[in-house]
Structure 1
Amino acid sequence: MHDLSFRHFVLLNLLRRLHGERTTNSMFHILTGKKSSQTIQDTKWYKLHSYFQAFPDWKGKHFHKDMSLLRECGLYKEEDGRALLTEKGKEQAEQFLIPVHGSSFFNGWKYADASIPFWRRLALFSQSLSHALYEHKTFLPVSHDLATQMWVKQFWPKTKASKIDMASSIHNELFHLLHELPEEDAHIFVSRLSGYELNGYTFQQIAEHIHAMDADEVFYRFQSVLHYLLDHRSRSPILSIFSEGLVKDVTLTSTAAKTYAHLKQGRTLQDIASVRQLKNSTIEDHVVEIASEDTDFPIHHYVPQEVQTEILRVAKQTGTYRLKIIKEQMTQPIDYFSIRLTLAWHGGHHEQNT
């Protein structure tokens, strides 16, 4: 048996969560954060928020190489194009469950995009403030992103006293929030910060200091801390400022957002397809995405209550989200759109029965 890395255990756990109902390509799209209708549905239906966009820069050839290793080790197999864990694979997955420890805060679907500019703002502001307090004006900034530099200038404190107050507030608020996390996770986050005569560590450097982790696990845990801070930003006046305008209440792809605007104007799906010059099926994809996010989406206008109830009952009885199986078990004729819409609405932010 080859030594398995953190990524291998992520793959095994993802296979476990998908119950042999999706392909390896579906897994790759989830882990890299592809914003396609199928990937979004899979993320919502199988509750894969702790996997979505976990490794945004993963190259396809490296992913398939890792999957090949798992197959050679007898940990997973493929049947009818779908990827299934073997019994041996299940045993391995249970030895290292994802998410791990404090990393249960990882929510790539909600925070992956916001965490990047949030970290850039916080890291550059903290570095600049540290140098300013030591009256050291020349240093290499941790971020060359123009939007980040402009943001820092906009909120930059003007006086020495205000700089001291800001530094104190950042320290105190971060200290209290990080104190609630596992010590290793807090250590990873702090190790990434730079300041006067202090350079932040790379993920590889941190991994070398924490011998039980590799760089990928350090990266995952670091992202999890960022997601935790964003999730608790309302408790911190400073973090509320640093995260301003970054976290959306409704997370939609740009094209679904356009369809959403038309829906709010009372247009039918056919009208929207005509206006946007898109296929009806594409608009349906957008509506499914909207239903999984919008708590006020009027699902009853599209799927009667009794049909919703039966779809949910069949999905629970069969233990699957495979649309064909659900359709075949229904006692009444139904289209795939109604099934997808029901599963999306009830599997999004709406766990309660309607």
Structure 2
Amino acid sequence: MRFDEVVLAIMKAVDGQRTISSPYHLIKGKKSGQTIQDIGYFNLHPFFGVLPKLDKSDYLASVSRLQSAGLLEVGDEQVRLTSRAVELPLPETALNGWKYRGNESRFFARLSLVVQTMSCFMQNQTRFDPVVADETVQTWVRSYLQRIRFRDTDVQHAFKEQLENSLQVVEAESWQKDIIIERLSGFNIGGLTWDQIAMRRQILPIDAKIAAVEVMHAWLDVIEEIRPALLLAMLEDIVQQSALTESAKRTQSLFDRGFSLEQIAELRQLKTSTIEDHFVELAMNDRAFLYTPFMDRAVYKKINEISAELKTMRLRDIKEHLPEASYFQIRLALAMRGAGK
């Protein structure tokens, strides 16, 4: 996908029910209650955190391009799709931001340093400036290289073969895969910058970045599936094992031990609203989650009926039709609805 297509896909999903900044926060991976619950409400899992370092100017430039193309109508805060945008088909994507949470960049940093090290050692160059300055990555790579006995020429050739073969299996355009290779450095070869890659392909740097992330997600899925030993070992701590944020996990642990929402807020010295965010996150991700400690069945049913009738996920609209329900109860019910319960 191009970056503008990512932005448009998110806007089509929320359909005018969120502010103009909502997609920006989602793409950056902001861990606010609103962003996390929107993932469940609108099935936006693919796009969460795909560009953690996204500059606001790049995002606003995309909005401007979409507006100029007649696809968006931008008001003071709300964004509306034009009829042309509604009818415009968007390509399928291999993006899986909710699963990887930006960890593909850590995998690529490890890969870059491993490739550089092997390349230099194959040329008998044991001293070089590491392409990755992060000491955590350097420490991990040193340990990994020792474990696989990387000085062995058979290991070096096996690594190269596993890299090439697994990347070949990835379902993506060849130019997208080439970006990954062009970013790597080796003996007397420096990886290309985003600007250089963009200039070479006559695309925007932001499009090169999102294409690389899309390929990385697809590639990581392939590595998990076909399990090439040398690459699979590099997935340590890369794949998100739980759909929950770490803070929500701690809240869940206390709740499972019998503490109430208010007690958890006091124990953790967090605002009640923050703990409510955690329960919304739990409702979104845990199919066994029970809403009955927070509302009775009649309120839960009425919230979903009003949401379906009005065709909206906007809390304020539902609250106006059901004033006896709290905003937390509405958010919780909608989160469970978004999870297909």
Task: Tell me which interval the TM-score lies in, with the shorter structure as reference length.
Answer: 0.7 to 0.9
Q: Is the 8 A contact 1:129 1:163 kept in 2?
A: no
For residues 138-168 of structure 1, the C-alpha deviation after alignment (integer angstroms, 9 at most, x for no partner) is 3232101101111111121479786334333
Shift of 1:329: 5.1
- 2:102 matched to which residue of 1? 113
Shift of 1:46: 1.4
- 1:218 matched to which residue of 2? 208
For residues 9-44 of structure 1, the C-alpha deviation after alignment (integer angstroms, 9 at most, x for no partner) is 443333222201111122221222211111111222
Task: Please say which of residues 107-116 and 14-23 is displaced more in the overlay.
Answer: 107-116
Which amino acid counterpart does residue 335 of structure 2 have in structure 1?
Answer: A
Q: Is the 8 A contact 2:96 2:217 kept in 1?
A: yes
- 2:231 matched to which residue of 1? 239
From 169, 173, 179, the equivalent of 1:188 is 179
2:50 is paired with a residue whose SS is coil
Instruction: Rate the CA distance shift 1:274–1:125 in 2: closer, same or farther, 3 A.
Output: same
For residues 159-183 of structure 1, the C-alpha deviation after alignment (integer angstroms, 9 at most, x for no partner) is 9786334333433333333223222
Instruction: Rate the CA distance shift 1:300–1:187 in 2: closer, same or farther, 3 A.
Output: farther
Q: Distance in 1 between matches of 2:198 and 2:57?
A: 24
Q: Is the 8 A contact 1:250 1:294 kept in 2?
A: no
Q: How many residues align?
A: 337
Identical positions, percent: 31
For residues 241-291 of structure 1, the C-alpha deviation after alignment (integer angstroms, 9 at most, x for no partner) is 111123232244443333233223221111111222333222111111232
Q: Distance in 2 between matches of 1:50 and 1:158?
A: 34
Which amino acid counterpart does residue 58 of structure 1 have in structure 2?
Answer: L
* 1:67-106 alignment, distance < 5 Å: 67-68=63-64, 70-71=66-67, 75-79=71-75, 81-90=77-86, 94=88, 97=90, 100=91, 104-106=93-95
Which amino acid counterpart does residue 172 of structure 1 have in structure 2?
Answer: E
For residues 31-60 of structure 1, the C-alpha deviation after alignment (integer angstroms, 9 at most, x for no partner) is 222111111112221122333233332333
Task: Please say which of residues 240-249 and 116-125 is displaced more in the overlay.
Answer: 240-249
Instruction: Rate the CA distance shift 1:61–1:126 in 2: closer, same or farther, 3 A.
Output: closer
Q: Distance in 1 between matches of 2:82 and 2:290?
A: 41
Instruction: Rate the CA distance shift 1:65–1:188 in 2: closer, same or farther, 3 A.
Output: closer
Instruction: Rate the CA distance shift 1:327–1:166 in 2: closer, same or farther, 3 A.
Output: farther
For residues 297-328 of structure 1, the C-alpha deviation after alignment (integer angstroms, 9 at most, x for no partner) is 34454455665455444434433211233345
- 1:320 matched to which residue of 2? 312
Q: Distance in 2 between matches of 1:216 and 1:169?
A: 33
From 35, 56, 59, the equivalent of 2:55 is 59
Residue 130 of structure 1 pairs with residue 126 of structure 2:
no
Q: Is the 8 A contact 1:111 1:230 kept in 2?
A: no
1:77 is paired with a residue whose SS is strand
Shift of 1:127: 1.4
Which amino acid counterpart does residue 277 of structure 2 have in structure 1?
Answer: D
Task: Please say which of residues 290-299 and 182-191 is displaced more in the overlay.
Answer: 290-299
- 1:173 matched to which residue of 2? 162
Q: Is the 8 A contact 1:54 1:220 kept in 2?
A: yes
Q: Is the 8 A contact 1:311 1:326 kept in 2?
A: yes
Q: Distance in 2 between matches of 1:336 and 1:140?
A: 55
What are the ranges of 5 or more consecutive residues in structure 1 without an aligned counterpart?
none
Q: Is the 8 A contact 1:76 1:83 kept in 2?
A: yes
Q: Is the 8 A contact 1:51 1:108 kept in 2?
A: yes
For residues 49-74 of structure 1, the C-alpha deviation after alignment (integer angstroms, 9 at most, x for no partner) is 33323333233355445545655665
Q: Distance in 2 between matches of 1:58 and 1:176?
A: 31
Instruction: Rate the CA distance shift 1:164–1:83 in 2: closer, same or farther, 3 A.
Output: same
Q: Is the 8 A contact 2:58 2:206 kept in 1?
A: no
Q: TM (normalized to structure 1)?
A: 0.82
Q: Distance in 2 between matches of 1:178 and 1:223?
A: 14
Q: Distance in 1 between matches of 2:129 and 2:154?
A: 24
From 8, 15, 24, the equivalent of 1:19 is 15
Q: Distance in 1 between matches of 2:148 and 2:74?
A: 64
Residue 45 of structure 1 pairs with residue 35 of structure 2:
no
Q: TM (normalized to structure 2)?
A: 0.85
For residues 100-142 of structure 1, the C-alpha deviation after alignment (integer angstroms, 9 at most, x for no partner) is 46xx111222213311211111111121112212222132321
User: Over aligned residues, Cα RMSD in angstroms?
Assistant: 3.0
1:171 is paired with a residue whose SS is helix
Q: Is the 8 A contact 1:44 1:292 kept in 2?
A: yes
Instruction: Rate the CA distance shift 1:186–1:162 in 2: closer, same or farther, 3 A.
Output: same
Q: Distance in 2 between matches of 1:67 and 1:186?
A: 27
What are the ranges of 5 or more consecutive residues in structure 2 without an aligned counterpart?
none
For residues 194-225 of structure 1, the C-alpha deviation after alignment (integer angstroms, 9 at most, x for no partner) is 222332222222223323x3221111011112
Residue 288 of structure 1 pairs with residue 288 of structure 2:
no
